[in-house]
Amino acid sequence: MSRVPNILLLTIDALRCDRMSLHGYSRSTTPNLDRLATQSIVCDRNSSLAAFTQASFPTIMTSTRPLSYGGYDNGTLGRPATVLRACHDAGWHVTLLSSFKWITRFFGYGDGVDSEVHLFSPVNLMGMAFNRMKSSVMSRAAGALSEDEMLALVTPVMDDLFVQLDAYCVARKSQGEADHQDFGDTRLVRDGFDFHKVQSVVHRHRAAFAGDPRAYMRKHFATMPEAHGWLAEEWRYCRKWSRLAEEAAFRAGNALVGVVDKRAAILRANRLKPFVDGAALADRVIRLMRDRDRSKPFLICTHFLDTHLPYAPGRGSRWYKSARDYLRPLGYGDEIDISAAVTKRPRRPDLLPSWSAMYDAALRYVDEQIGRIVAALDEPENTIVVICGDHGEELGEHGNYSHYFRLHHHNTWVPLIFIRPGSQGMRVDGLTSLLDLAPTLAHLAGAPAIPGWEGAVVTSSEVAIRQTMVMETFYGGNCLFDHRPVYMAARDRRMKLIWKEAMDPDDRFGPMGNELYDLDADPLEQVNLYRPDHDALPVLERAVAGRLAEIPQFGRARLARAFPAFAKEMAP
């Protein structure tokens, strides 16, 4: 590339490599990425370092590990500058289409962003605060924290939330016309919020919390409320009356439909996806590229959520009418129940095949949107397109569904692809991770790397000689290092160790104890080979122990209990 390239950074939620035809899956789920691979750097052994978005995005954007800098609770706070900041400072115009709560300026990702557009519900901000407070509130309820300790932890989160909600309402009021143009058939618009009314509720709760935080928490957080409770319960009526009337009429009609056809009623009730539809998001990206200021190179960053539950392949509120258009090319027939994957878990065991098929169809739908975006490039040979997953997905392999925090291969083997139209493609067989995204993008684009980034360029000798890759997390919730067990994993080119300091009380599906798997012979990790004298353990345990030794909050005493021989070696 002779000129400064344009950049598209397209991340995809819950995208597991083993369901991509690009990485050998038998069904053609990614025909566009398959075709583009001949012009791409494709990392075949890439890992996310955690299994959920909140913990993965600091790695993607700042090339740092999830449990560094005090953990993932505060996004990019205190971490090195993001790749967005690096590109902005080097001359790019940076646009962030914030389709998900964790990837916004409210979580630190606005640094270096020239234009941010909020494409998520205000309820998502409340959910973000829930995630950051949940472990603290539950630890207080269990007696592990005093009320004062709990308040010290949750007060900054509550203060942030009220400020963020107010700023969000201001932004959404200014976005109105553009939102209707691209997202009129999505929940973003059709929820019909009156943001003046939403702000009034926020201001009232903010004043109540500031006046007496102890009484406020006792009233609203004696137990952790559901996502549809607390503020959201009041917001339900902060909508335009026309929208409330429309929804009431729809529900009455759908109840009658349910008498005749229960499956149709389920689909109609879930016609509006809880996230911005992928086709609408692609429309906005294409429009931004078309209407851009051509005096500067652009960087557009956004996050596709269609491979996140519920799996709803197809455009807009009539997605279920076209879902079979994505199932049939994959070899699935009319036996697939399209309504299977609109709930958190399969309703019945016999729906498992349909659940799995709908994930595949959702992946093909996302691939279609990527193909549309790349086809719309007016300067393809002067554009870098980065594709990655933030984490994988569980489809029942270990007793659960979605991606509940455990570090199994299906949750951590994710794509990392650098598409460079007109260039020669290559496959990277070394152990890469999402740590390597920012350094590689900066290298390809000619932007300076940021001091403190921990990853490497994926084509470098450093990656080629890597022997292990370490992953790290808590079982969701917030990073209470003193009160919660740490979950770790380490892999080499064949074997993978999953190590738990102890079982988290919330982990109701994970197997007890440590796990060891042969990824070549058993990629779905169904046969646990762990035994204390297994010859693969010394290298993998040393990798885990070495990483724990770098985390000051973990402490030497815990390290000595977990890995006494390693701790003894480190003793002064």
Picking from 308, 448, 267, the residue whose alpha carbon sits closest to that of residue 15 is: 308
**Residues of the chain under the 70 pLDDT cut:** 1-2, 227, 571-572
| Integer angstrom CA distances of residue 329 from 31, 60, 361, 481 | 10, 32, 9, 47
Give pLDDT, residue 572. Answer: 61
What is the residue type of 270? N
Residues in Cβ contact with 421 at an 8 Å cutoff, skipping those fewer than 6 apart: 36, 39, 374, 377, 380, 381, 383, 385
Do residues 48 and 390 make contact, with C-beta atoms less than 8 angstroms apart?
Answer: yes
Q: Say what angle helices 213-220 and 147-183 make with each other, to 10 degrees.
A: 70
Same structural domain, 230 and 341: no
What residues form DSSP beta bridges with 491?
A: 469, 496
Same domain flag for 429 and 468 = yes
Question: pLDDT for 313-363, tens place per residue?
Answer: 999 999 999 999 999 999 999 999 999 989 888 989 999 999 999 999 999
Residues 266 and 302 in one domain: no
At which of 250, 274, 298 does a domain end? 274
Exposed/middle/buried for 115, CB within 10 Å: 0-12, 13-18, 19+?
exposed
Q: What is the pLDDT of residue 571?
A: 66
Question: Is 449 contained in some domain?
Answer: yes
Same domain assignment for residues 398 and 529: yes
**What is the rounded CA–CA span in Å between residue 81 and residue 454?**
12
Residue 263 sits in the same domain as residue 306? no
What pLDDT was estimated at residue 2?
Answer: 57
Q: Please tell me whether residues 430 and 476 are part of one structural domain.
A: yes
Q: Which of 216, 242, 274 is the last residue of a domain?
A: 274
Tell me, what CATH number does 450's domain have?
3.40.720.10
Cα dist from 290 to 87, 287, 380, whole Å: 21, 5, 13
The amino acid that residue 95 corresponds to is T
Cis peptide before 421 (omega within 30 of 0): no
CB within 8 Å of 39: residues ≥ 6 apart = 419, 420, 421, 422, 423, 424, 425
User: What is the model's pLDDT at position 27?
Assistant: 98
Residue 230 lies in a domain: yes
pLDDT of amino acid 193 = 92
Q: Which domain holds residue 225?
A: 121-274
Residues 345 and 492 in one domain: yes
Number of domains comprising the chain: 2
Residue 79 resides in a domain: yes
The whole-angstrom separation of Cα 248 and Cα 254 is: 10
Note whether residue 303 is domain-resident: yes
Residues 193 and 296 in one domain: no
Last residue of a domain, one of 274, 304, 329: 274
Which ranges of 399-519 does DSSP label H, i.e. alpha helix?
A: 409-412, 437-445, 461-464
- Residue 445 shares a structural domain with residue 564: yes
- Characterize the bridge pairing of strands 487-491 and 515-518: unpaired
Smallest CA-to-CA distance from 433 within 80, 53, 109, 45 is with 45
1 within domain boundaries: no
Q: Are residues 402 and 451 in the same domain?
A: yes
Enter the tokens of residue 90: 């080097």
State residue 570's pLDDT score.
74
The conformation of residue 226, written as its DSSP 8-state character, comes to P
- Residue 317 within a domain: yes
Instruction: State the pLDDT at residue 448.
Output: 95
Together in a domain, 77 and 139? no
- C-alpha 305/C-alpha 410 separation (Å) is 17
156 Cα distance to chain centroid? 23
How many residues can be counted in the chain?
572
**pLDDT on residue 217:** 94
Residues 6+ apart with CB under 8 A from 563: 541, 544, 545, 548
Q: Note whether 431 and 493 are within 8 A (CB).
A: yes
- Between CA 550 and CA 545 the distance in angstroms is 9
3-state secondary structure of 514: coil
Could you tell me if residue 180 is inside a domain? yes
Q: Are residues 415 and 357 in the same domain?
A: yes
User: Is residue 26 situated within a structural domain?
Assistant: yes
Q: Which two tokens stand for residue 570?
A: 């480190």
